[in-house]
Amino acid sequence: MPYHEFECSTCIPERKKHAVVKGPGETLADALPLGYLNTIPGTISERGCAYCGAKHVIGTPMKDVIHISHGPVGCTYDTWQTKRYISDNDNFQLKYTFATDVKEKHIVFGAEKLLKQNIIEAFKAHPTIKRMTIYQTCATALIGDDIDAIAQEVMEELPDVDIFVCNSPGFAGPSQSGGHHKINIAWIKNKVGTVEPEITSDYVINYVGEYNIQGDQEVMQDFFKRMGIQILSTFTGNGSYDDLRAMHKAHLNVLECARSAEYICNELRVKYGIPRLDIDGFGFEPLGNSLRKVGLFFGIEDRAQAIIDEETARWKPELDWYKARLMHKKVCLWPGGSKLWHWANVIHEEMGVDVVSVYTKFGHQGDMEKGIARCEQGALAIDDPNELESVEAMYKLKPDIIFTGKRPGEVAKKIRVPYLNAHAYHNGPWKGYEGWVRFARDIYNGIYSPIHELSKLDISKDEIPTDKGFVTQRMLSDANLPDEVRNDPNLRQYTGKYDMLAALRGKTYPAFEQHTPKEAAA
């Protein structure tokens, strides 16, 4: 039987079809966990809400926008400063958050007037920002405020501003994923096609489903720029509102997190004939293939190859140093959605770790298909796990490390499993070649932490080793390594800087000749 039943969940039989063990000879057609169904109340699931999926995951990484939530302050406060989506404009979107501050009287008499005053106030407080996104919340959805009408009214009164409305209240769907969907569709419907961009290259892409966590977008942007490709927009990390209104003019949509942003790529394909190319920005081989594919699409694969060769030569010896020391370490890969498939195979191949379990908080069955397809036999795949199930799984699987969110990470800590933050990263960026080495370095540091080692000792019962005043990570990781690996002169530890973005931000790029005439901006 491929379904896995948790002991703690025998009393809720609905859960039985949400976990699967990838058995020998079994395929996706034999077993697939259910997914994206309503959460069972009271299970202590990890899921968030659709407002968070729209505002916090996708909306707010847009960097030159006033992000205002229409509702009581709670939702705004709670989703503020809990992520690491940075930007190259001094992080306006991280620093400022706006709430219309709906109170009881507004619930009774309506909050549209309040909303309008708020919009005007917010633009006044930040006179250099001319773009705004308004997010509906549970309360204002239920009282039925017509946010679109108010936004329209303000745009007529203030002709230099543009406002996007996202109607995705918290209850709209089983998890944050409902919000991903809503904001994707609203953006293509209302904003794409309303700006005509300046085309500066023969090769024009949208980079979609990339949120610039700790600078991932900037790392990838560097590769594209080195290839002479114009990134018309990034949806949405480090992305600019007006650039995103011009998405319709790209030649290719390069899609990273399909979970959160495939909808807009699908719609762009139907409406404007822009093809969708799914890529992996994580891992040397997947990233190399991704760059090659983009290069091939434009007939500039030699440029991609040059980057792959250069970066591989620079960073592979460092990746392999870690791989030698991470072989067969057991990993629970427990992210929100897309990393489950981005990482499942490549951390095994390139870092040597064994993925013993994958889970997704808010993914759909399609994410599980990808994740299960990519992990090795025996892995336990869980949809919408809850607290007790996670703990049971950790006790059973005894992972050496888990990749998950901050709060579940605290649970892991207590049962002495090191954790890395799969959403916000420990010391990212983790995309790109150097980023991938940083990820390996973070895993290594997590597993071979001397303090972690000490946490297992019970001084009241165990023999206390009194022969050492310290232990280094090397002493732990190299203890059982064969000499030729330990002393391999071709391998080395990470040699990059703490902040690798500073160098990227000041960089200049070669000018490539443009063949097609510049398109006139309409």
Partner 1 sequence: MSEVKTERIEQMIDYIMKKCLWQFQSRAWDRRDQNLGVLSKTTQILCGEHVELETPADRCYWVDAVCLAEAYRERLPWLAALSVPEIKDLMQGLHERLDFLTIDGSLNEELTDQMY
Partner 2 sequence: MHCELKEKDRIGTINPIFTCQPAGAQYASIGIKECIGIVHGGQGCVMFVRLLISQHLKESFEIASSSVHEDGAVFGALDRVEQAVDVLLMRYPHVKVVPIISTCSTEVIGDDIDGVVRKLNEELLPEKYPGREVHLIPIHTPSFVGSMVTGYDVAVRDFVKYFAEKGEPNGKLNLITGWVNPGDVKALKHLLAEMDIQANVLFEIESFDSPLMPDGNFVSHGSTTIEDLKRTGSASATLALNRYEGGQAAKYLENEFGQPTIVGPTPIGIRNTDTFLANLKKLTGKPIPHSLVVERGIAIDALTDLTHMFLADKRVAIYGNPDLVIGLAEFCLDLEMKPVLLLLGDDNANYGDDPRIQAMQQNVDYPMEIITNADLWDLEDRVKNQGLELDLILGHSKGRFAAMECNVPMVRVGFPTYDRAGLYRYPVVGYEGATWLAEQMANTLFTDMEYKKNKEWVLNVW
Candidate residues 59, 72, 179, 288; the one interacting with ligand SF4 per rule CB under 6 A? 72
By CB under 8 A, residue 341 contacts partner 1: yes
74, 275, 299, 482: which one contacts ligand SF4 (CB under 6 A)? 74
Among 15, 19, 31, 436, binds partner 1 (CB under 8 A): 31
Give phi and psi for 38, each to the nearest 5.
-50, 140
Q: Which span sits near partner 1 by CB under 8 A: 83-91, 227-235, 363-371, 441-449?
A: 363-371
Q: Give CA–CA dist 440/137, Å, rounded.
A: 39
Contact letters (x/-) for partner 2, 136-155, by CB under 8 A? -xxx-xxx------------
Each residue 161-180 as x (binds ligand SF4 by CB under 6 A) or -, in order, gives ---------x----------
Instruction: Give the footprint of partner 2 on residues 19-38 (CB under 8 A).
Output: 38
* Residue 336 binding: pick among partner 1, ligand SF4, partner 2, none (C-beta 5-8 Å cut-off by kind): ligand SF4
Nearer to partner 1, 85 or 343 (CB): 343
**Strand, coil or helix: 152:** helix
What does the per-residue mask of binding to partner 2 show for 375-414, with x meaning CB under 8 A?
------------xx--x-------------xxxx-xx-xx
Of 42, 59, 345, 23, nearest to 176 by C-alpha is 59
E strands, 180-270, where?
204-210, 230-236, 252-255
Does position 320 interact with partner 1 (CB under 8 A)? The reply is: no
Number of Cβ atoms within 10 Å of the Cβ of 20: 24
Q: With respect to partner 1, which residue has the nearer C-beta, 16 or 364?
A: 364
The smaller minimum CB distance to partner 1, of residues 219 and 279, is found at: 279
Should residue 293 be labelled a site residue for partner 1 when binding is judged by CB under 8 A? yes
| Residues with Cβ within 8 Å of residue 228, at least 6 apart in sequence | 201, 202, 203, 300, 303, 509, 510, 512
The one of ligand SF4, partner 1, partner 2, none whose footprint includes residue 28, by CB under 5 to 8 A per kind, is partner 1
Q: Is residue 53 close enough to count as binding partner 1 by CB under 8 A?
A: no
373 near partner 1 (CB under 8 A): yes
Among 23, 27, 30, 81, binds partner 2 (CB under 8 A): 81
Q: Tell me: does residue 292 bind partner 1 (CB under 8 A).
A: yes
How far from 325 is each of 163, 285, 428, CA to CA, in Å? Answer: 51, 20, 20
274 binds partner 1 (CB under 8 A): yes
User: Sign (positive/negative) of CA torsion 477, 483, 489, 490?
Assistant: negative
CB of 246 to partner 1, least distance (A): 17
Q: Which does 512 bind (CB under 5 to 8 A by kind): ligand SF4, partner 2, partner 1, none?
A: none
How far is CA 206 from each of CA 244, 264, 368, rounded to the nearest angstrom?
9, 11, 26
Residue placing its CB nearer to partner 1 in the complex, 11 or 29: 29
Exposed / middle / buried, residue 210 (Cβ in 10 Å: 0-12, 13-18, 19+): buried
φ, ψ of residue 192 in degrees (nearest 5): -70, 135
316 within 8 A of 345, measured Cβ to Cβ: no
By the rule CB under 6 A, 79 interacts with ligand SF4: no
Cα of 17 vs its chain's centroid, Å: 26
Query: By C-alpha distance, which of 196, 189, 192, 190 is closest to 164?
Result: 190
Q: Which does 250 bind (CB under 5 to 8 A by kind): partner 2, ligand SF4, partner 1, none?
A: none
For residue 69, what are the β-bridge partners? 99, 135
Residue whose entry in the numeric block shows the structure tokens 């434009």: 298
Site for partner 2 in 49-78 (CB under 8 A): 49-52, 68, 71-78
Q: Residue 135, Cα to own-chain centre: how many angstroms?
A: 21
Cβ pair 182, 148 in contact under 8 A: no
Site residues for partner 2, window 183-242 (CB under 8 A)?
Answer: none
495 binds partner 1 (CB under 8 A): no
Among 248, 370, 431, 441, binds partner 1 (CB under 8 A): 370
Whether 145 contacts 70, CB under 8 Å: yes
Q: Which is nearer to partner 2, 286 or 418 (CB)?
A: 418
Please give the structure tokens belonging to residue 447: 């597993």
369 scored as a contact of partner 1 (CB under 8 A): yes
* List of residues 6+ apart from 71 with CB closer than 8 A: 99, 100, 102, 136, 137, 138, 139, 140
Binds partner 2 (CB under 8 A): choice among 12, 34, 161, 476: 12
Determine which residue in the list 269, 271, 416, 474 makes contact with partner 2, applying CB under 8 A: 416
HEC per residue, 12-34: CHHHHHHEEECCCCCCCCCCCCC
Go through the chain and tell me how many residues it has: 522
Stretch touching partner 1 by CB under 8 A, among 92-100, 169-177, 283-291, 328-336: 283-291
Residues 6+ apart with CB under 8 A from 30: 2, 23
Among partner 2, partner 1, ligand SF4, none, what does residue 39 contact (CB within 5–8 Å per kind)? Answer: partner 2
Residues lying near ligand SF4 in the complex (CB under 6 A): 57, 71-72, 74-75, 78, 137-139, 170, 211, 257, 259-260, 335-339, 423
Residue numbers at the binding site for partner 1 (CB under 8 A): 27-29, 31-32, 34, 36, 185, 251-252, 258, 262-263, 266-267, 273-280, 285-286, 289, 292-294, 296-297, 341, 345, 364-366, 369-370, 373-374
